[in-house]
């Protein structure tokens, strides 16, 4: 499998040899499921968000970094519209469906829905572009799982990358070649199929990442649908360390949608003073003291309806659902400022300032957005008190998952030992701690022809 090494080196650097082993095993599993012939290998990386949490769906700012942990899809085009997917991880049994504009979903939470969402969006996209069927499906093998895959449910975007990698493959086999931004937008809309009203951050970083850089993304498109973004180099002399609490909350989707609803309620209420606004981003330059009087501490969905405010399109709300509108909006408003300050600090090499902003972002996520949990608090406190740490915060949607810490190179071993010890002592759990080796964005890695002997 020596042909694998050169393309893998451009993606994984020094890890290319161990990755080649992983790719070879995946190819052999593909051959035993689907037989000899051509195979295209696509990959999409997970991400860690440095700062800018729950700002994307408010058209705000984010600053994610792609991981070297990724999901692979080995794919062989079919001549019909069937998609057959198997998974290297045995707990995910095979799925099959036909591509079309209205694909019936698998049960909620099923892994197949991430692929179905991508396929349905593609069929609709091609229909809009007046490209008539026949659509082409594929036979595919998904490769996630440890140690190289994106840890699942950990706030590192494992589900979004599944949509991205399937969309990439289906677009490829159907001859649709959008640019990265178009594909990223497409993938984020495709993911609405699974019932989360998410933003665009995960798909943008998965597709547009650059090694050694964070992506500063302004999630507000201009009138031509373009996005302002900048690849900002990561600080020299520091590691981004990720510590996974191992906590997986069962209802992240429900909590997430309620946060989206609270922000939308904020926008609707602020329209009394700023009639033209569509997102919280539109009041970013207005002093907070001028916004606050319009934002109640708490209001129910039913009370909003009485005032003529309907939160359409957000699943799972009932008239009794309580929304803490003021605190949620305050988080978004302050977080956008922190992201801008963090980018300025990165550009200027001011690591201490960046670290302070991470700590402040964590406090806001905990107190105003209420997306932390006891285990994440233990991890963040342990990280923040360790030597050589500029700052630390929870990362991703919240309610479990991971923290990220900015740690001086020479302090990494002591950091790992301290955080693991304290977390173990206080929760009885062992955290998985690993360094983020930032990698490049998603794409086609290589096309291979498997012979009968492979």
Closest to ligand GLA by CB, 325 or 386 = 325
Choosing from 199, 266, 400, 439, the residue that interacts with ligand GLA (CB under 6 A) is 199
Cβ at position 305, least distance to ligand GLA in Å: 25
Interface characters, 103-142, with ligand GLA (x: CB under 6 A): ----------------------------------------
**Encoded tokens for 257:** 């949608």
Contact code string over 47-76 relative to ligand GLA, x by CB under 6 A: --x---xx-xx-------------------
320 an active-site residue? no
Cβ at position 315, least distance to ligand GLA in Å = 15
Task: Give 171 or 217: the residue with its C-beta nearer to ligand GLA.
Answer: 217
Determine the size of the site formed for ligand GLA (CB under 6 A): 13
For ligand GLA, which stretch binds (CB under 6 A), given 46-54, 169-177, 318-326, 424-432?
Answer: 46-54
The minimum distance between CB 384 and ligand GLA, in angstroms, equals 20
Q: Is 365 in the site for ligand GLA (CB under 6 A)?
A: no
Question: Strands 322-323 and 299-300, how do they pair?
Answer: antiparallel
Query: Do residues 44 and 71 touch, judged by C-beta distance below 8 A?
Result: yes
Q: Would you say 56 or 139 has its CB closer to ligand GLA? A: 56
Among residues 11, 63, 170, 201, the one that binds ligand GLA under rule CB under 6 A: 201
Catalytic residue among 56, 139, 202, 368: 202
Site string for ligand GLA, 265-304 (x = CB under 6 A): ----------------------------------------
Residues in the site for ligand GLA, rule: CB under 6 A? Answer: 49, 53-54, 56-57, 157, 160, 198-199, 201-202, 396-397
Report the catalytic residues.
202
């Amino acid at each position: 499998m020596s042909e694998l090494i050169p393309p893998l080196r451009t993606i994984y650097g020094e890890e290319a040899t161990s990755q080649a082993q992983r790719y070879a095993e995946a190819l052999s599993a593909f051959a035993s499921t689907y037989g000899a012939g051509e195979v295209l290998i696509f990959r999409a990386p997970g991400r860690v968000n440095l700062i800018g949490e729950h700002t994307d769906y408010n058209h705000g700012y984010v600053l994610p970094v792609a991981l070297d942990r990724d999901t692979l899809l080995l794919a062989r085009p079919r001549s019909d519209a069937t998609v057959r997917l198997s998974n290297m991880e045995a707990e995910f049994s095979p799925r099959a469906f036909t591509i079309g504009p209205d694909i019936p979903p698998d049960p909620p939470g099923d892994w197949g829905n991430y692929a179905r969402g991508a396929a349905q969006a593609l069929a609709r996209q091609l229909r809009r572009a007046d490209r008539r069927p026949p659509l082409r499906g594929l036979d595919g093998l998904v490769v996630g799982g440890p140690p190289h895959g994106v840890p699942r449910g950990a706030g590192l975007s494992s589900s979004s990358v599944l949509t991205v990698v399937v969309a990439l493959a289906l677009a490829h086999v159907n001859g649709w070649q959008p640019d990265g931004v178009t594909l990223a937008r497409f993938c984020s809309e495709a993911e609405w199929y699974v019932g989360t009203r998410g933003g665009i951050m995960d798909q943008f970083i998965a597709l547009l990442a650059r090694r050694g850089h964070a992506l500063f993304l302004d999630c507000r498109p201009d009138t031509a649908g373009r996005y302002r973004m900048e690849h900002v180099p990561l600080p020299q002399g520091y590691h981004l360390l990720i510590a996974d609490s191992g906590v997986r909350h069962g209802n992240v989707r429900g909590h997430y949608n309620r946060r989206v609803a609270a922000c939308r309620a904020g926008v609707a209420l602020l329209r009394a003073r700023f009639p033209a606004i569509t997102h919280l981003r539109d009041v970013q330059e207005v002093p907070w003291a001028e916004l606050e009087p319009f934002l109640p501490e708490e209001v129910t969905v039913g009370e909003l309806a009485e005032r003529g405010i309907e939160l359409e399109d957000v699943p799972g709300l009932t008239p009794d659902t309580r929304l803490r509108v003021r605190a949620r909006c305050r988080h978004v408003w302050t977080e956008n400022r922190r992201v801008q300050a963090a980018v300025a600090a990165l550009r200027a090499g001011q690591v201490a300032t960046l670290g302070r902003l991470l700590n402040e972002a964590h406090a806001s996520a905990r107190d105003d957005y209420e997306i932390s949990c006891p285990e994440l608090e233990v991890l963040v406190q342990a990280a923040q008190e360790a030597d050589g740490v500029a700052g630390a915060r929870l990362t991703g949607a919240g309610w479990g998952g991971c923290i990220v810490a900015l740690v001086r190179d020479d302090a990494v071993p002591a950091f790992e030992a301290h955080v693991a010890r304290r977390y173990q002592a206080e929760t009885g759990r062992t955290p998985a701690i690993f360094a983020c080796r930032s990698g490049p964005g998603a794409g086609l890695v290589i096309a291979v022809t498997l012979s009968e002997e492979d």
